[in-house]
Amino acid sequence: MQKPPLWTQKVTRRELLKVGSGLSIGSLLPLSAVSANTLRTQARIVILGGGAAGMAMANRLANRLRGGTITLVEPRETHHYQPGWTLVASGVWNADKTMRPNAQFLPRGVNWIREHAANIDADNKRVALANGATLEYDFLIVATGIQLNYHLIDGMSPALVGQHGIGSVYASIEGASRTHQAIQAWLNSGQGKGIFTAAPTPVKCAGAPLKMTFTTLSRLEASGQRDAFNVDYMAPGTSLFSQPWVDEFVKQRFDEQGVNRRHHYRLSAIDPQAKQAEFTFVGPESEFTSHHQLREAEFRREGQPTVIADYDFIHVVPPHECPRFCQTERAYRARRPVQGRVARCRYSHPAAHPLPRSVWHWRCDWCPDH
């Protein structure tokens, strides 16, 4: 027998989260029953950001809610499939394959505002848009992705990607294409040193620095001149990946494929003209491999030892951070729970970033009772 619709007079935040995250009982039911498992609501739901997370939420909520309004704030016309960027940078995919019109994914009945969100006023449940307009909400979903802080690497800017042997696959599809060109130029030179870096922060794809190293190694090996190239990997920590078995596997493969690993260093500065990179020691204990090929420098930076390395190609992974406009929002800085409970963002210090109950940040860990 078909399950009767779950009609409610008022959607609670818990119910909304269940619908949005697919945790409701409906996710365990056959399709015919799932369609009946809807919620009636008058709620005004605003979603900031229409990337993978925001667009997925818009679709799920549009399917499962009856009544209310869903408004998506997304300035871009085009959806970018970011996992494809490593394949573009490696020459496996064409850039076009990673782009589709956002309109193709927008569910019927969702209002799309092509604008940037500028500020969240969580106390008054309002979002200010860059064009000066204001949106009021009952529930807000923040899915604006993550901020890339290239500027924390002295001398570095995304505009440099593709020049002076610099690659970086994180910023954009254009950056991925230019990274491909930089790697190709290095390969064509027939020799030299490539340095692959990782960031000292959580990143949106922890696998991408490793993927770029492996795909480039594969191309070096395919060139038949592997011995003419040196490959270094600079890791901020002891591990290269959070899953221990993956970490172990990657380290083993790197060692087998002649990658010189060095741990507890972050990329702190770059001199594009000289093709030199500065790395700052970040760890409490350094862990050197016996065969590292970096030149030690005598000077120190911010009280920490640094090393300077020459490169012919470098893959730059920028530090990542929670989007700035979320961090500066007054309610976040107030450091107090709103309506009794908070969620905390793992991209900044927990105590500094409590999220009000009515705000759901896609990238946040939830309290145990959620």
Residues that bind ligand FAD (CB under 6 A): 48-54, 73-76, 82-83, 85-86, 116-117, 143-145, 169-170, 204-205, 207-208, 325, 362
Task: Name the residue nearer to ligand FAD (CB basis): 201 or 289.
Answer: 201
**Residues 6 or more apart in contact with residue 148 via CB below 8 angstroms:** 158, 170, 171, 318, 319, 320
Question: Which C-beta is closer to ligand FAD: that of 50 or that of 236?
Answer: 50
> In b/e form, how buried is each residue of 103-120, taking b as 16+ CB within 10 angstroms?
eeebeeebebbeebbeeb
Look-up of token digits 């992974």: 317
Q: What's the CA gap between 353 and 355, in Å, rounded?
A: 6
Distance from the first to the final alpha carbon of the chain = 31
Identify which of residues 148 and 342 has a Cβ nearer to ligand FAD in the complex: 148
All residues at 6 or more sequence positions from 210 whose CB lies less than 8 Å from its CB, including other chains:
240, 241, 250
Strand pairing class (313-315; 166-167): parallel
Cα distances from 55 to residues 44, 88, 145, 225, 257, in angstroms, run 17, 23, 12, 45, 40
Quote the least distance from Cβ 72 to ligand FAD, whole Å: 9
Q: How far is the CB of 291 from ligand FAD (least distance, A)?
A: 29
| Residue nearest ligand FAD, Cβ-based | 51
Closest distance of CB 38 from ligand FAD, Å:
25
**345 vs 343: CA distance, rounded Å:** 7
Rg (C-alpha) for the chain, rounded Å, is 23
**Residue number with CB closer to ligand FAD (73 or 106):** 73
Please, what is the minimum distance in Å from the beta carbon of residue 149 to ligand FAD? 14
| Least distance to ligand FAD, CB of residue 47, Å | 9
Question: 163, 272 in Cβ contact below 8 A?
Answer: yes
Q: At its nearest, how many Å lie between ligand FAD and the CB of residue 303?
A: 32
Range list of β-strands (E), 5-155: 39-40, 44-48, 65-66, 69-73, 78-80, 99-101, 111-113, 117-121, 126-129, 134-136, 139-142, 147-148
- Shorter beta-carbon distance to ligand FAD: residue 133 or 274: 133
Smallest distance from ligand FAD to CB 311, Å: 20
Compute the distance between CA of residue 85 and CA of residue 98 in angstroms, rounded to an integer.
7
Nearest approach in angstroms of CB 263 to ligand FAD is 23
Give the whole-angstrom CA distance, residue 26 versus residue 35: 8
